[in-house]
Amino acid sequence: MTVLLHEDYIVERGDFKNAGKVSSTIKEKLKMIGIDAKILRRISIACYEAEINMLIHAWGGDISMDVSDDGTVRFVFKDPGPGIPDLDDAMTPGYSTASDDAREMGFGAGMGLPNIKKVSDSFDIASSPEGTTITLGFHL
Amino acid sequence: MKAREFFELVNAKPIVIYDEGLLDNEYTTVFASDLMSDALAMVSGDAEETVLITGLMNVQSLRTAEILDVKVILFVRGKKPNQAMIDMAEELQISMYGTDLMMFDTCGILYEHGINGMK
């Protein structure tokens, strides 16, 4: 398997003004290489939710994207903490620990992680107080 | 339903019209919420025939529409966007309309005239 396209992005801590901008850039980049619109929408939704999570629940983070010649796109969302205390709770639709600030932005419905899992072809999450890493895969 | 009739029914006025041909487009469904997470979780099917109805007057409404490929947002409760939102709508090629009606009334009128929610 060869990586055809690799991109790294940074989500700055507390940069609510630009929330979603990285996902928008990823969408544009993948659109340019001709990814099917329905798959692209699923990818965009997952990226946007994960990016928002990095802002409202974590101290920013890094996003990497690999498009490979085996017809897959893989994303790794890695934040530096503070981690998710109970992953089972976090994966339950409707469960939310979002702040009032997040709710004012229109987020905090408790649908983020369940929705990311729903739209992805593969989903893996690991969390500790040192940070959370989400790895997503999509078949093109 | 043609967009022209859709907006007339709820007395909606244009804020930003990106696409002049928009008024002749057909719209069949709406998704109405102030929670963008819910929109991201629920909007499916042909987003280009869907109008996002919301009272959430900030750039995340536009960002959500962009991510979902929704081309029209109708803001309720008489809220007015700031210049940053207007600039962003133009950049993202999204049209924005506004009505003074409440969300419940807006949806009720549209439902009465055959517009449906998400299945």
Domain spanning B3-112: CATH superfamily: HprK N-terminal domain-like (3.40.1390.20)
Determine, for residues A111 and B47 on separate chains, whether the beta-carbon distance falls below 8 Å: no
Domains (range + CATH), chain A: 3-139 (3.30.565.10)
Residue B20 pLDDT exceeds 80: no
**pLDDT for res B49:** 83
The string of DSSP letters for chain B reads -BHHHHHHHTT-EEEE-S-GGGGGSB--EEEE-S-HHHHHHH--S-GGGEEEEE---SHHHHHHHHHHT--EEEE-TT----HHHHHHHHHHT-EEEE-SS-HHHHHHHHHHTT-B---
Domain boundaries, chain B: 3-112
What pLDDT sits at residue B45?
67
Of A20, A44, A111, the CB nearest to B38: A111
What's this model's pTM, rounded to 2 decimal places?
0.92
Convert the pLDDT of each residue in B53-112 to its tens digit: 999 999 999 999 999 999 999 999 999 999 999 999 999 999 999 999 999 999 999 999
Q: How far apart (Å, rounded) are the C-alpha atoms in residues A89 and A93?
A: 9
Residues in chain A within 8 Å Cβ distance of B68: 41, 44-45
Whole-angstrom distance, CA of residue A75 vs CA of residue A7: 10
Determine the angle formed by the axes of helices B59-68 and A37-56, rounding to 10 degrees: 150
Q: Would you give per-residue pLDDT tens digits along chain A (140 residues)?
A: 899 999 999 999 989 889 999 999 999 999 999 999 999 999 999 999 999 999 999 999 999 999 999 999 999 999 999 999 999 999 999 899 888 888 888 888 888 999 999 999 999 999 999 999 999 999 99
Of A20, A110, A112, the CB nearest to B63: A20
Cβ neighbours of B47 in A, within 8 Å: 41
Predicted ipTM? 0.87
Among A26, A45, A57, which would you mutate to test the B interface (most chain B Cβ atoms within 10 Å of its Cβ)?
A45
